[in-house]
Chains A and B, each alone.
Chain A
Amino acid sequence: MTTQTNTSQTSQTGLKQWLTSDTPKSRWQAKCGRAWLGWIKFTENRLAMIGLSIVIGLILVTIFAPLLAPYDPLAADLANRIQPPSADHWFGTDQLGRDILSRLIYGAQYTLLIVGLVAITAAPLGLLVGTAAGYFGGWIDATLMRITDIFLAFPKLILALAFVSALGPGLENAILAIAITAWPPYARIARAETITVRKSDFIEAARLQGASNMGLIAGHIMPMCISSLVVRVTLDMAGMILIAAGLGFLGLGAQPPMPEWGAMVSDGRQFLLEQWWVATVPGIAIFIVSLGFNLLGDGLRDVLDPRGGD
């Protein structure tokens, strides 16, 4: 028994030593060590940890929705309309007698889908446009940035509304519309960062190594833009959830009976004064998830900058 604990302890310190070694033997070890240090730093930030747990919680809820939900999110029970929160229905029921908790749990996947898809389409697009514009300058810069300006000139929600009306209502089109309206600020940020570094010695040094334009943009300029971009994206995720909710609220996003949170707020607004929980509970869910992404983004910024600490 004692020997067993001993070996497990030594193997643990062995792993820790391997991770925090001053002189890593291989690239793989150095990479693991850096990831480990980044994680340590991240865990020191309590707010960021709260954000991370909210986001992980959202992901878990999405995966295990069928196990967690006490009722079928779509099953109407008109005898039980608009019941207040009780032991049977923790968050009450809505106007069709559907359990709000179950609808929330099933709705998490749509929120995650919206945020995830927008982030993996809009951010890389903005990054590419911004770095290309900033790096090449001249007419490429002028063309790309004027296009960006045109998109920026419209209020996001209005533009998204226009796209959804053109594409037709539905969750996929709402996501597409949000992605189309979300990239211009990223392009702006990436361009600004690119311009500050493109004339620096380390870029010219890389050019003297024979690096191609694409290699320079992808390998040298993008890493300089990524940390501010990641923070901005995670901060924007709250806004994306809200726009998606707004589109849902206006009936242009998720279509009934899909338990999307924005649509649920919209449904509940008719009873807001007497049966407050119908609209308030999904509203609180939107708020918590937005907050989670905000906190996570803030914490990520500290970790992503290797100059922040040794």
Chain B
Amino acid sequence: MIEINKLNAWFDDNHVLKDVDIKVPKNGSFGLVGESGSGKSTVLRTITGLVDDWEGEILVNNKELGPKRDKAFYRLVQMVFQDPFGSLHPRHTIDRILTEPVNIHGLGDSDARVVQALEQVGLDNSFRFRYPHQLSGGQRQRVAIARALILEPKILLLDEPTSALDVSIQAEVLNLLSRLRRELGLTYIMVSHDLAVVAHMCDDIAIMNHGRIVERASATQLAEGTLEHPYSQQLYKAAGGYDRAVIDSFVDWD
């Protein structure tokens, strides 16, 4: 469904992605793990066209992407942002946030579509005419997911969709995402620094460091901690919780 070959990206003079290769099958779920600044979010942003300066090959549905994304692309690929407090327009009601993509793409019948999208993410109709500031973080993230789903995309890019939420809400949102993938036959690429989340959600994972994929593994490998690259092991240990001896042994891999 998505194939990325030798993707390189730059922020001014910073070389942030170096020869990234990713392949995600239809209905698959791919996890990108790494520490902050490793370039994992940049991969998603490059796919969606939010990064201008890139080179390489991105194939979606066997079609290569040019420098500009068209409307058809956005009907196929949607993204959920990390921060549900920043990704919803503070002056728009939930209804307007969800109606807008319907109108842009001229799908029609926005009333029914909005109600259906809210239903899909488990929000009832009473949320429809509220403003984002009247919702909790988990509810907002559900709205953000509903907005991504309302165009009926086949691919959902998830940029740390739960890292801004507290633990109990995280589980709810993750279960929601798993259910949606099953029911709607979606393909996911999920970015996270939380190894447990990725192990739970994804079939295949790639570990990134300094803009490079250092290791590929399966979810079971990640869950069992049988990773080979020293950076991956370091990341796995770091996920185990704070331990002075472990932290002191860390080195900067490049």
A: residues with CB less than 8 A from B are 22-24, 27, 30, 33-34, 200-202, 204-211, 215, 219-220, 223-224, 306-307, 310
User: Chain B nearest CB: distance from A202 CB in Å?
Assistant: 4
Residues in A neighbouring B125, C-beta threshold 8 A: 23
Whether a CB of chain A sits under 8 angstroms from the CB of B86 is: yes
A223 to B97, CA, bound (A): 13
A110 to B111, CA, bound (A): 46
A23 to B71, CA, bound (A): 33
Residues in A neighbouring B75, C-beta threshold 8 A: 210
User: Chain A nearest CB: distance from B85 CB in Å?
Assistant: 9
B: residues with CB less than 8 A from A are 48, 50, 71, 74-75, 78-79, 81-83, 86-93, 95, 100-101, 104-105, 125-126, 128-129, 131, 133-134, 144, 147, 151
Residue of A nearest to B93 (CB): A30
Given A23-B125, A205-B81, 13 additional A-B pairs, CB 8 A: A24-B129, A33-B129, A201-B82, A202-B88, A209-B74, A210-B75, A210-B101, A220-B92, A223-B91, A223-B92, A224-B91, A307-B90, A310-B134
Asked if residues B91 and A205 are in contact (CB atoms below 8 Å), the reply is: no
Residue of B nearest to A30 (CB): B129
Residues in B neighbouring A210, C-beta threshold 8 A: 71, 74-75, 101, 104-105
A-B interface, 7 closest residue pairs, ranked by CB to CB distance from nearest: A30-B129, A201-B87, A209-B101, A201-B86, A210-B74, A23-B126, A202-B89
Residues in B neighbouring A310, C-beta threshold 8 A: 134
Residues in A neighbouring B100, C-beta threshold 8 A: 206, 209, 211, 219
B48, B101, B105 — which one has the most chain A CB atoms within 10 A of its CB? B101
Binding site secondary structure of chain A: helix
Asked if residues A209 and B151 are in contact (CB atoms below 8 Å), the reply is: yes
A222 to B147, CA, bound (A): 21
A23, A205, A211, A224 — which one has the most chain B CB atoms within 10 A of its CB? A205
B48, B88, B104, B129 — which one has the most chain A CB atoms within 10 A of its CB? B129
Residues in B neighbouring A27, C-beta threshold 8 A: 95, 129
User: Chain A nearest CB: distance from B123 CB in Å?
Assistant: 12
Given contacts A23-B125, A208-B79, contact A215 B104 (CB under 8 A): yes
A33, A200, A306 — which one has the most chain B CB atoms within 10 A of its CB? A306
Residues in A neighbouring B105, C-beta threshold 8 A: 210
A15 to B139, CA, bound (A): 30
21 contacts between A and B (CB under 8 A): A23-B125, A24-B129, A30-B93, A30-B129, A34-B129, A200-B86, A202-B88, A205-B87, A205-B147, A206-B89, A208-B50, A209-B74, A209-B104, A210-B74, A210-B75, A210-B105, A215-B104, A220-B89, A223-B91, A224-B90, A306-B133
User: Chain A nearest CB: distance from B66 CB in Å?
Assistant: 16
Asked if residues A30 and B95 are in contact (CB atoms below 8 Å), the reply is: yes
A205 to B71, CA, bound (A): 14
A202 to B147, CA, bound (A): 11
Partner of B91, one of A24, A33, A306: A306
Asked if residues B86 and A208 are in contact (CB atoms below 8 Å), the reply is: no
Residues in A neighbouring B86, C-beta threshold 8 A: 200-202
Residue of A nearest to B84 (CB): A201
User: Chain B nearest CB: distance from A132 CB in Å?
Assistant: 19
Residue of A nearest to B110 (CB): A27
Residue of A nearest to B131 (CB): A306
B48, B75, B86, B105 — which one has the most chain A CB atoms within 10 A of its CB? B86
Given contacts A210-B74, A307-B131, A310-B134, contact A202 B104 (CB under 8 A): no
Asked if residues A201 and B81 are in contact (CB atoms below 8 Å), the reply is: yes
Partner of B133, one of A22, A30, A307: A307
A152 to B35, CA, bound (A): 48
A135 to B50, CA, bound (A): 15
Residue of A nearest to B75 (CB): A210
